[in-house]
Structure 1
């Protein structure tokens, strides 16, 4: 599983406790350093952390069964879909129309079926990320049903 935005490492630890091998990327250096120290001290061996821009994913460790983004994005980032296994899911908060909604995208290897899960509020993905700056947003087929 890929997590974009380690933050305090709370969600990282929860995912590991649920049995996932977690690859997590944090853009803010001091947060990544604290998370590395904390998770190491707590003995999480199935967690792998990286400092960097998570909008491009972690292609060297792909493909992933699931990707979770912990900051609101303006669009589905195409590089992340390319790192999902066929049958994988991408969960992310998306900024749209002045608000945010949580959505899950089910990837079949060629296209995504997107289900909106409801309103949410996350910090925005930091400006200047590689994929957002390049405008590399994925086209997807939206299913607006509530999940």
Structure 2
């Protein structure tokens, strides 16, 4: 019996390892081609958003831009039939600071409208951008 215990433990650990390997892994619901991390935003205040939305029920997401002190813009991104999007957005105003955060959120209450107190509870993705106006 004592010789059987190590074999049973090894078998149990192998089953646990195989089960954990076969579980579906969490994938990023937003694949962003542009902008990349630390991309530059110039004084025209426009940003090209290009990428894909993945997953069941991900027909659109909301975005919000802020500089740590002020909200600079928000809106909705709708995907096409292939799950892709390619839009240009514009900040509502220039940021007060060099750094801009671009955040993506799901529609938590599924009403199609961006409701910041509700929809910003779960962040899907964040991209850090830099504001560099020409001198």
TM-score by length of 2: 0.26
Larger relative contact order (Cα-Cα within 8 Å, sequence gap ≥ 6): 2
Structure whose CA Rg is larger: 2
Higher helix share: 1
